[in-house]
Amino acid sequence: MKKRIWFLGLVPVLALLCLVVSAGRAAAAAPSGDELALDPAWKAPDQEAARERAREVVPFVDAVVDECQLCRQQRLRDMGLGVKDIVHSYFLLDSPVIKQREDHYGPVRFMHTKHAAQIQDCAVCHHARPADKAAKETVRCSACHQESFRADTPDRLGLKAAYHQQCIACHRDEAKGPMDCAGCHPKNVPDHKELVKLPANPQPWDVTAECLRCHPGAGEDMLASSHWLWRGHSAYTLDHQKKVIHGKGTTAINNF
Amino acid sequence: MSPISNEARCTSCHAGYGWKDNTFDFTDATRIDCLVCHDTTGTYKKAPPGAGMPDPKVDLVKVAQNVGHSSRKTCGECHFNGGGAEAVKHSDMSRQLLQPERACDVHMGGYDMQCAECHTTRNHRIPGRSSSVPVVEGALDCQDCHGAKPHYGNDILDHHLNRHCENIGCNTCHSPVYAKCKPTKVWWDWSKAGDKNRKPQKDKYGMGDYDPMKGEFVWAESAKPVYRWHGGFFKRVFIGDRIDLEAGVTNIAEPVGSFVDPNSKIEPFKIMKGVQPADAKYGYLLVPHLFPRDKEDKTAYWKHYDWQKAITDGMQAAGLPYSGDYRWVETWMYWGVDHEVMPAGMALSCVQCHESLSGERTCDRCHQDSREVNFKQVAHKGTDFSWMVQQGRDVSHLVGTTDYIDFKALGYKGDPIVYGGRFKKLPMGYKPASAP
């Protein structure tokens, strides 16, 4: 409590300091805050294209060719199918089919060409071809895997299960790539409007205390982090690999 | 320079509230500033000289009720503005990255990636090896996502580019110029500070060359990096480390690596050069007190323009003796060019470095001529900077150049296609480089 009183006394001093200094420096250091007008319509083109593809629900493929995986692998190789034939190198794994049931996680960024180049076997993921002779040899996951337990194809995995079984099983078998949820997905942050309870015009540390009410572990983690301490392990600094004292707040110096 | 004795200004980029001097309590979790990283409204702001306190105008309840993941906006609030303004420190990060063009940064501009998607955070530990500060909470590499053979096609060019990855960092080819969206500071001479009558002149980029509080500057835009062998480690000078005052230049941070070290790769750097004070007797770099603590402050350089007072105060705060004599020394810092990766088509072409491919003979120096592959086309695939010139970038002097990364400076006898590589003799046709 004593500490808080001490700190409150500091606030007017700091506020005054802000005024004095900002008046004196207005011309010298225009804060970079507002000079770049942000365009609310800005979009990243590759991401937008992938988002567009993820919104599509393609016609359901109800029948596929009965073919062993090795047969299919050999056949695709005989056809000369490979990385060079890839149309879209990047996908967002997301679909209205999954969204209609749940929405806890954001879409997965999937580097199609990278995976294809590493695996060098299209048939691993594109494991069945549509029975329709006019259809393309390889189709996207969501052409065959849509809602689970469909009456016409009760034995076929739903899209979410198909993604998870394919990705996680391969990452496990190859000992490569993430296997935890957050390794692939961004987790949706729950709406905090009802969760956060604060008086009007709170002090900044009242906000922090409110955050810590539900996230005490995050506070403990933060107290040991470099963004808090401005010092820490210097594992990649010659002659100082074992030191934990160095940092901007202690020993570092620069020419800025 | 250092935040020590200047806390109230510098800690406006601290993820906390009230670090105004060395009495700050680092065990008090209520002083953590959660909002500066987790704001999604774009309205949260720290008051620059307020020791990390938020701007009183910020609606804290609204910000707290809309918290979410960190973003380019929240990270950039500090990391795009280091050194007092946009792009001053980092040559590869600026506010342009809030909404970058695809050609400027393919990850952020093409795929809208946020910082923490590469700097994947666990327990508030954020990986990434900075060149400028020693603290590290984990390593991070392009190849973590792209794999050790990131050129995914199966053709002759991909094969050679994948081999290059054993010796060359990605951004050597994929970010051939730095500060490609916004000029960055490359020279800062503190010894020239203090002339209140000197009017700043604008350079060709519209950037000022002088500030009486700070000294003289030079800016660079779309500049060619320097290339050095780097094995991941840095050599650093810390406060109190003795330097050679007669050396001409002191490297505060320089990459560790060499031509004969298999772990080293050629990587691009911006060198930040400057002039700053050192103790003429004790031989270490000095910490001046720049930013006034309060109205009564008697020593701050930015109030009194007196280096002697400023250094005496700063060194007392740093807990190191000051002999009373300072002198100006030139210092360099190597800053890695790690961001602003350009789209694949804008990477350096083979001929941009390999002069031996610029004439009539190209891949057929080693390979039999093949009708399926147009060797000349392969050797020239990539940027020759003419597109960037069209975009108004200051790179016209780079068009048509070769030996871009300067092989001799890196320890080669010349173009490795002719003289051989680091560890292997060329398989066909030529005598080894070491032969008499």
Contacts of B153 in chain A (CB under 8 A): 83-84, 117
**Chain-chain contact of A228 with B15 (C-beta, under 8 angstroms):** yes
For residues B143-158, one letter each, b for 16 or more C-beta atoms within 10 angstroms of the residue's C-beta and e for the rest, the string is eeebbebbbbbeeebb
The DSSP call for residue B166 is T
**Amino acid B402: pLDDT:** 93
Strand A108-111 relative to strand B210-211: parallel, antiparallel, unpaired?
unpaired
pLDDT at position B428 is: 52
Of chain B residues 243-302, which have a CB less than 8 A from chain A? 252-253, 256, 272-276, 285, 287, 291-292, 294-295
pLDDT above 60 for A2: no
Confidence label for B229 from pLDDT (cuts 50, 70 and 90): very high
Q: How far is CA B308 from CA A12, B298, B311, B312, in A?
A: 30, 12, 5, 6
HSE-CB for B340 with a 13 A CA cutoff = 28
Terminal Cα distance for chain B, rounded: 51
Residue B16 contacts A, CB cutoff 8 Å = yes
Quick one: pLDDT at residue B425?
62
Q: What percent of chain B has pLDDT over 70?
A: 97
Cβ distance A240 to B236 less than 8 Å, yes or no, reads yes
Residues in chain B: 436
% of chain A residues with pLDDT over 70:
86
Contact assignment for B188 to A255 by CB distance below 8 Å: yes
Q: For residue A18, name the pLDDT band (cuts at 50, 70, 90).
A: very low
The overall average pLDDT reported for chain B is: 94
Burial of B27 per CB tally in 10 Å (0-12, 13-18, 19+): exposed
Distance CA B164, CA B174 (A): 13
Q: In angstroms, rounded to a whole number, what is the distance separating the alpha carbons of residues B122 and B304?
A: 45
Q: β-strand B265-279 against B184-189: which pairing, if any?
A: parallel
Stretch B345-357: mean pLDDT: 94
Token pair belonging to A219: 């506070």
Q: What is the pLDDT of residue B435?
A: 46
Q: Which CATH superfamily is domain A45-184 in?
A: Cytochrome C3 (3.90.10.10)
Q: Answer whether residue B334 shows pLDDT above 50.
A: yes
Q: What is the identity of the amino acid at B216?
A: E
The residue type found at B317 is A
How high is the pLDDT of residue A21?
43
Instruction: Name the residue in chain B with its Cα closest to that of A84.
Output: B153
Whether the per-residue pLDDT at B31 is higher than 50: the answer is yes
Alpha helix segments (H runs only) across A120-203? 141-144, 159-174, 181-184
Q: Which residues contact B405 (CB under 8 A, 6 or more apart)?
A: B172, B227, B266, B353
Measured between CB atoms, which of A47, A109, A253 is closest to B239? Answer: A253
**CB B178 within 8 Å of CB B223:** yes
Torsion of CA B62, B66, B71, B75, to 10 degrees: 40
Secondary structure of residue B249 in the 3-state scheme? strand
pTM of the model: 0.90
Smallest Cβ–Cβ distance between B56 and the set A15, A47, A229 belongs to A15
B2/B11 Cα distance (integer angstroms) = 11
Tell me the HSE value of A44 on the side-chain side, using a 13 A CA sphere: 21
pLDDT at residue A27 is higher than 60: no
Q: CA dist B216 to A218, B148, B209, B309, Å?
A: 43, 43, 6, 21
φ, ψ of residue B203 to 5 degrees: the values are -85, -175
User: What confidence tier does B162 reach under pLDDT thresholds 50, 70, 90?
Assistant: very high
Q: Quote the distance between the C-alpha of residue A179 and its chain's center.
A: 14
Q: What pLDDT, in 10s, does the model give residues B261-318?
A: 999 999 999 999 999 999 999 999 999 999 999 999 999 999 999 999 999 999 999 9
| Residue A19 pLDDT greater than 50, yes or no | no
Q: Which residue of chain B comes nearest to A9, CA vs CA?
A: B18
Inter-chain residue contact B60 with A109, CB threshold 8 Å = no
Residues whose CB is less than 8 angstroms from the CB of residue A174 and which lie 6 or more positions away in sequence, other chains included: none
CA distances from residue A123 to A58, A68, A126, B351 in whole angstroms, order as listed: 20, 10, 5, 38
pLDDT tens digits for range A83-139: 999 999 999 999 999 988 888 999 999 999 999 999 999 999 999 999 999 999 999
Quote the pLDDT of residue B427.
Answer: 53
Task: For residue B36, give the H/E element and its range.
Answer: helix B35-38
Per-residue pLDDT of B400-432, as tens digits, reads: 899 999 999 999 999 999 888 888 765 554 454
CB of B83 within 8 Å of a chain A CB? The answer is yes
**Which residues make up the CATH 3.90.10.10 domain(s) of chain A?**
45-184
* Predicted pLDDT of residue A5: 47
Q: Scan for tokens 């009564």, then name that residue.
A: B296
Q: pLDDT per residue over A189-198, tens digit each?
A: 999 999 999 9
**Which range has the worst mean pLDDT, A32-46, A163-177, A219-233, B129-143?**
A32-46
Give the separation between CA B82 and CA A119, rounded to whole angstroms: 42
| A-B contacts (CB, under 8 Å) | 282
**pLDDT value at A3 more than 80:** no
The C-alpha atoms of residue B208 and residue B214 are separated, in whole angstroms, by 12
CA distances from A38 to A33, A132, B18, B98, B258 (A): 11, 49, 30, 8, 44
Closest residue by Cα to residue A141 from A52, A50, A81, A57:
A57
- Interchain contact B200–A (C-beta under 8 A): no
Write the DSSP string, A199-246.
Answer: -SS--HHHHHHHHHHH-HHHHHHHHTSHHHHS----TTBTT-TT----
